[in-house]
Amino acid sequence: MDLKQSNIMIAITYENIQNGATNPDQKYNQYYLHVTDPDTDIIVKIADMGLSHTGYKPEDKIRPTLYVIN
């Protein structure tokens, strides 16, 4: 597995978003989350999609069919 920064995703809970909101106006907001705080509820996911495209074959694609009725 290729472990690098771009392959790490951090998911936070809705409660963290509500608690971290700095602006009561919900149109635009900035969120600050202390990821090193042990009480912060975050989920760290590792994803590597580098080889996901190799399973695709053009012949696997179903071509659309057009019927013309006069």
Task: Give the model's pLDDT for residue 9.
Answer: 82
| CA-closest candidate to residue 42, choices 20, 16, 22 | 16
Break the chain into its structural domains and give their ranges.
5-60
Calculate the alpha carbon distances from 2 to 10, 23, 45, 47, 53 in Å.
17, 38, 13, 9, 16
Strand partners, 21: 31
Encode pLDDT of 8-51 as tens digits.
888 877 776 776 666 666 666 666 677 787 877 778 888 876 66
Task: Give the model's pLDDT for residue 40.
Answer: 74
Q: What is the mean pLDDT of residues 44-67?
A: 64
